[in-house]
Amino acid sequence: MGKRDTDSALGQEMSVGSFGDSRLSRRLGQMVELLEKLPNRSIPEAMGGLSEAEAAYRFLRNEQVTPQRILEPHWRASVERMRAEGVALVVHDTTEMRFRGQREGLGDLGSKIYQGFFCHLALAVDARGNRRPLGVLGVQALVRRQRHGGKKRKWRERRVASDRESLRWGALLDLVEERVAGRCSMIHLMDREADDYELFAGMVTKDRRFVVRMHYDRRLQGEPAEALGPRKVQPALDLVEDVADREVVLSARQAKHPGRPRASGEAPVRRSRVARLKFRSTRLCIARPQDAPNDLPPSLELNVVRVQEIEPPDGQEPVLWTLVTTEPVSTPEQVLGVVDYYRCRWMIEEYFKVLKTGCAYESRQLESLDTLLNFLAIVVPVAWQMFALRSLADVSPQAPATDVLTDDQVAVLTKIARPAIPTKPTAHQALYAIAALGGHFKRNGPPGWLVLRRGFEKLDGIVEGYCLAVRGCDQS
């Protein structure tokens, strides 16, 4: 690997580091380029040898190397991609990262086998066009420790504690806004875990745009004597007329942790089906909860949209979303637009799958939280690029494959693909050709991340030989 400059666009993007040491920046670009090709392999396998692997381990242990410095080039490039689009969705969510055995700095996950941390992340997505992933804007790690000899704090103590986990939503949102610095308009998307009055108040005060799914049937503002109207959100929505209906295809949903009981708040397992949905919206004045700090506004006026499934199949839980938003909802088109924004939230769940499956992050044998977080920062942009390829093939199947693959990759793929593909393939044709190299059969449906990775490994191995044979490229 030594003196060779990075060849891939992502490797070049990541080699413009902020370490204050050009050698570290060059090493980062080289590691990213190699992990692009073999993201789910061990570090020695991906790096191509023991000496190169040792250099990678030294990089991960270097005190100058931090997740912030590793990801700085990717954040800058992501903001530029957002600026070019003008408007972007920013999807926020948290996932659990689980590792076997005892490792320095990892926290409690309620398991005797696993330790780990919670990864809170913000993913930017094109809001206007093909819902293309534009990059990751922020990553936070939350390590859960045992408190007070293993005893849980009382609920009121947790509600006002300065270290409570719910603060992560607002903290990352503010960090994202600071990084973007007005160069793009953003709409923040969050699931039910972010239903927090303090968070809403902060976003409204700072004039942030957002769509958040509600978890609580919140109290409306008004004196107790005003008994003629509904006192909570859901009864108020019951009095509103439907403004639209639509049939949508609901994807199948697997158990989050197979073999374990369903956790509180976890979405139920379901089969794929066509659902008929009805939509209604209104503007409501939501009251400050009684236990909230008194320095928060006594009420907030927000737009509310409800999505409800009509006549779900027997034994299937109906779709029911209640969304709170700053976006306008005066027309059916605006209401459907808000719902379509929120439907993009699934993209971050798919992105987490790329990290865990496509990049095999939870299988890494690194010995400490610090080295695991440094490695996470390296694979975050690698996973984004993998995700961008499949997203383009799914959403814009007729886009040219060269939007996401190099000319060499396309040239080789068109010669070895079975069945054959055109010399100028679309993104969809290229995706399935690569998946076929990894052993995928088209009749089995869309390819998963493991089979795609196997296909990329095979393709890149052939591309390397092609490059040597045709142009005598330096691969030392």
Higher pLDDT, residue 451 or 282: 282
- Nearest Cα neighbor of 412 from 454, 370, 368, 462 is 462
| pLDDT single digits (tens) 130-153 | 788 999 999 999 999 865 444 555
Predicted pLDDT at 449: 78
Opening angle at CA 389, ends 25 and 35, nearest 5: 35
Predicted pLDDT at 88: 97
Model-level pTM? Answer: 0.85
SS (H, E, C) the chain: CCCCCCCCHHHHHHCCCCCCCHHHHHHHHHHHHHHHHCCCCCHHHHHCCHHHHHHHHHHHHCCCCCHHHHHHHHHHHHHHHHHHHCEEEEEEEEEEEEEECCCECCEECCCCCEEEEEEEEEEEEECCCCCCEEEEEEEEEECCCCCHHHCCCCHHHHHHCCCCCCHHHHHHHHHHHHHHCCCCEEEEEECHHHCCHHHHHHHHHCCCEEEEECCCCCEECCCCCCCCCCCEHHHHHHCCCCCEEEEEEECCECCCCCCCCCCCCCCCCECCEEEEEEEEEEEEEEECCCCCCCCCCCEEEEEEEEEEEECCCCCCCCCEEEEEECCCCCCHHHHHHHHHHHHCCHHHHHHHHHHHHHCCHHHCCCCEHHHHHHHHHHHHHHHHHHHHHHHHHHHCCCCEHHHCCCHHHHHHHHHHCCCCCCCCCEHHHHHHHHHHHCCCCHHHCCCCHHHHHHHHHHHHHHHHHHHHHHHCCCCC
In this model, does residue 157 exceed pLDDT 90?
A: no
In this model, does residue 397 exceed pLDDT 80?
A: yes
Mean confidence (pLDDT) of the chain: 86
| pLDDT single digits (tens) 402-438 | 877 778 889 999 999 999 999 999 988 998 999 999 8
| pLDDT single digits (tens) 358-381 | 899 999 999 999 999 999 999 999
Average confidence (pLDDT) over 332-341: 96
| pLDDT single digits (tens) 302-328 | 999 999 999 888 888 888 999 999 999
Average confidence (pLDDT) over 50-63: 94
At a CB cut-off of 8 Å and minimum separation 6, what does 333 contact?
none
In this model, does residue 337 exceed pLDDT 60?
A: yes
| DSSP β-ladder status, 273-287 and 244-250 | antiparallel
In this model, does residue 162 exceed pLDDT 80?
A: no
Which sequence spans correspond to the domains of the chain?
Answer: 397-476
Cα gap 433→18, rounded to integer Å: 38
Predicted pLDDT at 472: 62
Q: Which residues of 195-209 are buried (b: 16+ CB within 10 A; e: fewer)?
A: bbbbbbbbbeeeebb
Cα gap 252→4, rounded to integer Å: 45
In this model, does residue 199 exceed pLDDT 70?
A: yes
Q: How many CB atoms lie within 10 A of CB 311?
A: 7
In this model, does residue 228 exceed pLDDT 70?
A: no
- Third-level CATH fold of 397-476: Transferase Inhibitor Protein From Tn5; Chain A, domain2 (1.10.740)
Predicted pLDDT at 415: 94
Residues of the chain with pLDDT > 90, as a percent, come to 57
Q: How many CB atoms lie within 10 A of CB 219?
A: 15
In this model, does residue 190 exceed pLDDT 80?
A: yes
